[in-house]
């Protein structure tokens, strides 16, 4: 039932007691998490009534329907403690950052925070790191677009990330998944095109430096 994007999101969730899926839409992710034994109980939360109705319909004939609670709320605001893992997928980075900001202290108590934004994942990484979260895992997939999933946890070691790592992902850069390398190749071509067309010298230099850094990663794999 899960598409490749949601399968990739779910792959970063470690077995836990309670999973909260924020912005659950059809409820496919918590259903699969329950059926596969990744979690024992789930909350399916959404701000709007229609997505919750769709999620309830998804669970209607399931043998795990007694282990899910549907909640209409913004973010995790009305989801009771404890939450062992929270998933927020398919939203914009600004929306996700607002959700985290509204309940920052609660997020700092959640061991697994799995986020997938539609764009501007660099800003999301920087935002989370600045607020005391570590990047503990990442994954990438492709279905007409590249989708990056980042897993955060309350910081224990306070690692420092350089701008290139925040842009492309420290875990992805170390794992060098073939899909990620294809993404880097596409990005390299785009950056080179931008460098050839921009007139501002400082911007051109920034694009050239980024292209050199990407080449350095790709050359190590050739």
Of 158, 191, 209, the domain-final residue: 158
Digit-coded pLDDT (tens) for 94-142: 999 999 999 999 999 999 999 999 999 999 999 999 999 999 999 999 9
CATH number, domain of 77, equals 3.40.50.150
Same domain, 102 and 209: no
Compute the Cα dihedral for 8, 58, 48, 79 and give only its sign.
negative
Same domain, 89 and 185: no
Please indicate, yes or no, if residue 115 is contained in any of the structural domains. yes
Provide the 3-class DSSP secondary structure of residue 7. helix
Residue spans of beta strands (DSSP E) within the chain: 16-22, 39-46, 68-72, 85-91, 112-117, 133-142, 146-154
In whole angstroms, give the CA distance from residue 94 to residue 173: 24
pTM of the model: 0.94
Please indicate, yes or no, if residue 171 is contained in any of the structural domains. no
Structural domain for 205, as ranges: 180-221
Digit-coded pLDDT (tens) for 63-90: 999 999 999 999 999 999 999 999 999 9
Q: How many C-alpha atoms does 218 have within 13 Å on its Cβ side?
A: 17
Same domain, 132 and 195: no
Structure tokens at 184: 């880097």
Please indicate, yes or no, if residue 165 is contained in any of the structural domains. no
- Residue reference for tokens 């061991």: 111
Please indicate, yes or no, if residue 212 is contained in any of the structural domains. yes
Same domain, 210 and 114: no
Please indicate, yes or no, if residue 190 is contained in any of the structural domains. yes
Please indicate, yes or no, if residue 128 is contained in any of the structural domains. yes
Please indicate, yes or no, if residue 173 is contained in any of the structural domains. no
What total number of domains does the chain contain?
2
Digit-coded pLDDT (tens) for 14-63: 999 999 999 999 999 999 999 999 999 999 999 999 999 999 999 999 99
Q: Which residue has the higher pLDDT, 127 or 199?
A: 127
């Amino acid at each position: 039932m899960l598409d490749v994007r949601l399968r990739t999101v779910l792959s970063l969730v470690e077995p836990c007691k309670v999973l909260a899926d924020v912005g659950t839409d059809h409820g496919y992710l918590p259903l699969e998490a329950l059926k596969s034994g990744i979690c024992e109980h789930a909350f399916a939360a959404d701000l709007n009534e229609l997505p919750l109705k769709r999620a309830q319909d998804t669970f209607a004939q399931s043998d795990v329907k007694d282990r899910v609670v549907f909640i209409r709320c913004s973010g995790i605001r009305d989801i009771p403690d404890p939450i062992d893992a929270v998933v927020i997928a398919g939203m914009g980075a600004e929306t996700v950052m607002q959700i985290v900001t509204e309940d920052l202290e609660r997020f700092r108590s959640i061991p697994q925070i799995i986020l997938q934004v539609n764009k501007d994942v660099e800003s999301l990484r920087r935002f989370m790191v600045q607020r005391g979260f570590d990047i503990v895992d990442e994954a990438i997939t492709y279905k007409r677009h590249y989708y990056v999933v980042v897993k955060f946890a309350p910081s224990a070691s306070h690692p420092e990330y350089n701008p290139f790592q925040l842009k492309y992902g420290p875990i992805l850069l170390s794992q060098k998944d073939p899909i990620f390398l294809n993404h880097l190749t596409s990005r390299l071509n785009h950056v080179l095109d931008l460098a050839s067309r921009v007139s501002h010298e400082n911007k051109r230099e920034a694009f050239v430096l980024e292209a050199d850094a990407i080449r350095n990663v790709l050359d190590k794999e050739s």
